[in-house]
Chains A and B, each alone.
Chain A
Amino acid sequence: MPSPRYWREIPSRYRLEATRCGDCGRVSYPPRRICPECRSTDGETIELSHEGRVLTYTVVHVPPDDFLMEAPYALAVVETPEGARMMVQVADCDPASVEAGMMVALEFRLIRREGKGGILCYGYKAVPAYPMGGEAEAELRSKESEVAHA
């Protein structure tokens, strides 16, 4: 994508900025000018917590070309304590261990790289809020790092 298109999305992608409606309280992520619930234009910008809960999930086995190296990977809809919902990958765990209701932390990660010589695209991935710890966790993190830098 051209860099201005990437740059425009940085507030929501890097800082998890969202809009809270001043009238009905609905939180929209990414930010919106008009509340989709009540059409109010009285919204305030907030930053979402870096945590949430998995609402629904899948494991993608046949990915788009940009994600070929990562499949199979878990993809989930996560809800933050503010009530915002976002689609994120669930990393640092066996994709088969992801389940609805699971608590996750949101961590800033490399999401994709655009073809040969394209820009590196960052954003958030979810990781289990209660990781296994110790050597097993360290091993998973090094694998993730290998994939990200492959």
Chain B
Amino acid sequence: MREVAIVAAGMTHFGELWGASLRDLFVEAAQGALTAAGTDHLDAIYVGNMSAGQFVGQEHLGPLMADHLGMAGVPSVRVESACASGGVALRTAFLEVASGASDLVLAAGVEKMNDGADVTAILATASDQETEVYHGATFPGLYALIARAHMAAHGTTEEDLAWVSVKNHRHGALNERAQFQRELTTDQVLSSALVSEPLRLLHCSPVSDGAAAVLVCPLDQASKYTDHPVVIRGTAMATASLALTDRRDMAFLDSVAASGARAYEMAGIGPEQVDVAEVHDCFSIAEICCIEALGFAPLGEGRHCARTGETALGGRIPVNTSGGLKSKGHPVGATGIAQAVELFEQLTGASGDRQVHGAEFGLAQNMGGTGASSVVHIFQAV
């Protein structure tokens, strides 16, 4: 396989973007990446998107987005793995370039969630319709079940969960593209409305619109587009059962651990060498489960990390410097690419007030459903 690098990134603001359509969002992010690289050609496009068909009634996104980018004729396909669609788009682009089939590929993610659709019901289609949703399960409900299982197994408290939100909002307050650029207190989190016990509104990522895009090419061609490429050292995906009831341990995300282990092996590093990470904090409990599964904290110890500052900017392993899904926003199909954008900037020293100084290795972990799919990428500054 050829070595593959990210050479440019583009991204919209995340939030309730009533003035922008699905295609507007994609074009803004994709054109941003093309402009940064100074190129007007592409060999292929991958569009990560969870459910435009349900959110805005639009399928067949590959050609639609290629056309609106002024790239009609270029092979372009939409890839889907629920909230991990963006991560899977990047992995697919990587494989196409690594194989030698293409030299310059756009990996993008986009979601338009605020257009009047029943968001709770649409998101729930990423869980098991016949055994979970049928009985009244919602996504916050399923993560609440995971949270209770984690509390029972490891003594995790509601305050531990609140600290994840507080920490990520502290980061997001420094990110001009974040949906919520403001800090929170644990009291605010713990007094917000109950969504599904023990999860409250401020434990949950918001409903967002947005898009993100990165350009990947062989490392030995990167100098045509940038002086500061970031190499993709590891990429891995793993799956687990959709239904929580089929999991051996509901408090442990097997797919996250397996995708992490495979990515570490491919990159030839371990968790202790990662300098900065973006993980899938769709709910506060998810960040705790993910940092445990990825080896950033021992099993059962992840609950302390946000409070002690170990996972905060300036800490041992800063996690979600972008603000994470909680504060930056979570336009589901765009999230995996937005994580890559944050790490591309971190590893090229372009993160401003959020910069992790001297960062060499970055890890992005993006998952679908309640962890039925997980994609991990490991990036290295060169």
Question: Which residues from chain A sit less than 8 Å from chain B, CB to CB?
Answer: 9, 28-30, 36, 55-67, 70, 72-73, 75-77, 85-89, 100, 111-112, 121, 123
Q: Is the CB of B149 within 8 A of A61?
A: no
Q: What is the minimal beta-carbon distance from B134 to any residue of chain A, in angstroms?
A: 7
> Total number of A-B contacts with CB less than 8 angstroms?
96
Output the least CB separation between B82 and chain A (Å). 17
Which residues in A have their C-beta under 8 angstroms from that of B194? 59, 61, 72
User: Is B124 an interface residue when CB atoms closer than 8 A count as contact?
Assistant: yes
Q: Given contact pairs A58-B147, A64-B120, enumerate 17 new A-B contacts (beta carbons under 8 Å).
A: A28-B246, A56-B152, A56-B250, A58-B141, A58-B198, A62-B195, A64-B121, A65-B118, A70-B136, A75-B135, A75-B136, A76-B145, A87-B243, A87-B245, A112-B136, A123-B134, A123-B135
Q: Which of B144, B246, B250 contacts A55 (CB 8 A)?
A: B250
Alpha-carbon distance A76/B197, docked complex (angstroms): 12
Structural contact, A73 and B136, CB atoms closer than 8 A? yes
Q: Which of B118, B135, B193, B246 contacts A111 (CB 8 A)?
A: B135
Closest 3 CB pairs of A and B: A58-B144, A85-B245, A59-B197
A87 to B147, CA, bound (A): 16
Interface of A is mostly: strand
| Contacts A56-B250, A62-B120, A65-B121 given; does A77 touch B244 at CB 8 Å | yes
- Cβ of B132 under 8 Å from chain A: yes
Question: How far, in whole Å, are A87 and B142 apart by their CA atoms in the complex?
Answer: 10
Contact indicator A64/B133 (Cβ below 8 Å): yes
Q: How far, in whole Å, are A55 and B131 apart by their CA atoms in the complex?
A: 16
Given contacts A77-B244, A100-B152, contact A63 B131 (CB under 8 A): no
**Bound-complex Cα distance A124 to B244 (A):** 18
Q: Hey, which chain A residues are within 8 Å of B243, CB to CB?
A: 87
Q: Which residue of A lies closest to B200 (CB)?
A: A61
Within 8 A of A (CB), among B102-157: 118, 120-121, 124, 130-138, 140-141, 144-149, 152
B241, A36: Cβ atoms closer than 8 Å: yes
Q: Is B181 an interface residue (CB 8 A)?
A: no
Q: Which A residue's beta carbon lies closest to that of B127?
A: A87
What A residues does B355 contact at CB under 8 A?
A: none
Pick the residue among B121, B197, B241 that contacts A58 (CB under 8 A): B197
Instruction: Please indicate the chain B residues that have their CB under 8 angstroms from the CB of A58 in the complex.
Output: 141, 144-145, 147-148, 196-199
Q: Does the CB pair A75–B134 fall under 8 Å?
A: no
With a cutoff of 8 Å between Cβ atoms, the chain B residues found around residue A65 in the complex are 118, 121
A59-B196, A62-B120, A64-B120 are known contacts. Are A75 and B152 too (CB-CB below 8 A)?
no
- Contact partners of A57 in chain B: CB under 8 A: 145, 148
In whole angstroms, how far apart are the Cα atoms of A123 and B135 in the complex? 9
Q: What would 8 A/B residue contacts be, using CB atoms closer than 8 Å? A: A58-B148, A64-B136, A67-B136, A70-B136, A73-B136, A85-B246, A89-B135, A111-B135
Task: Return B298 CB to nearest CB of chain A, in Å.
Answer: 22
